[in-house]
């Protein structure tokens, strides 16, 4: 099935150490084109390359945030919007 996607630009604002040692470290990402109240997201600070090797994001890193959905979960945008 085909998928629809949108790519957004972001910047890693900070890396948050866990309060509890066995919890994962988080990366706080500022999404540039998002509304002010919804601009920041926090994700586990683990990324992988095409070979499956793991790495961590650094503060200040420029990142792409991709939102993806099955075509069946979307509707066609009206022409006048």
- Reported as a single tens digit per residue, the pLDDT across 13-59 is 999 999 999 999 999 999 999 999 999 999 999 999 999 999 999 99
80 part of a folded domain: no
Please tell me the pTM assigned to this model.
0.84
| Token couple for 47 | 């990324």
47 part of a folded domain: yes
**Cβ-based neighbours of 24, under 8 Å, separated by 6 or more:** 18, 44, 45, 46
76 part of a folded domain: no
Find the domain containing 17 and state its range: 10-68
Number of compact structural domains in the chain: 1
43 part of a folded domain: yes
* Residue 81 binned pLDDT confidence (cut-offs 50, 70, 90): low
Q: Is the pLDDT of residue 80 over 80?
A: no
Q: Is the pLDDT of residue 77 over 70?
A: yes
48 part of a folded domain: yes
81 part of a folded domain: no
SS3 content of the chain, % helix, strand, coil (to 5): 5, 45, 45
64 part of a folded domain: yes
Across 1-7, average pLDDT? 90
């Amino acid at each position: 099935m085909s998928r629809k996607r949108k790519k957004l630009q972001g910047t890693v604002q900070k890396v948050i150490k866990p309060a509890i040692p066995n919890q994962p470290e988080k990366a706080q990402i500022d999404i540039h084109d998002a509304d002010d109240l919804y601009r920041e997201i926090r994700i586990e600070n683990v990324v992988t390359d095409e070979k499956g090797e793991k790495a961590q994001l650094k503060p200040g890193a420029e990142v792409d945030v991709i939102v993806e959905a099955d075509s069946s979960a979307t509707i066609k945008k009206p022409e006048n919007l």
